Amino acid sequence: MARIVLLGGGFSTDPDTLLDDYLFGLLPRRQPRVCFLPTASGDAETYIQRFHAALNDRCETSTLGLFVRDERDPRAVLLTQDAIYVSGGNTANMLAVWRVHGVDHALVEAYHAGIVLCGISAGMICWFTSCLTDSFGPVAVLNDGLGLLAGSGCPHYDSEPARRPAYLRAMGSGALPPGWALEDGAAALFTDGELTESVARRPGAALYRVEAKPDGGVTETAVQARILR
Q: Which residues are catalytic?
A: 121, 156
Angle of helix 103-112 relative to helix 91-101, nearest 10 degrees?
90
Q: Strands, DSSP E only, in the chain?
A: 3-7, 33-37, 60-63, 83-86, 116-120, 128-133, 140-142, 149-154, 179-182, 186-191, 194-200, 207-212, 218-223, 226-227
What string of DSSP letters covers 91-116?
HHHHHHHHHHHTHHHHHHHHHHTTPE
Say if residues 47 and 41 touch (Cβ distance below 8 Å).
yes
Rg (CA), the chain: 17
Instruction: Note every long-range contact of 94-97, with CB atoms under 8 Å and residues 24 or more positions apart, other chains counting.
Output: 94/39, 94/40, 94/122, 94/126, 95/126, 95/144, 95/145, 95/146, 97/39, 97/66, 97/67
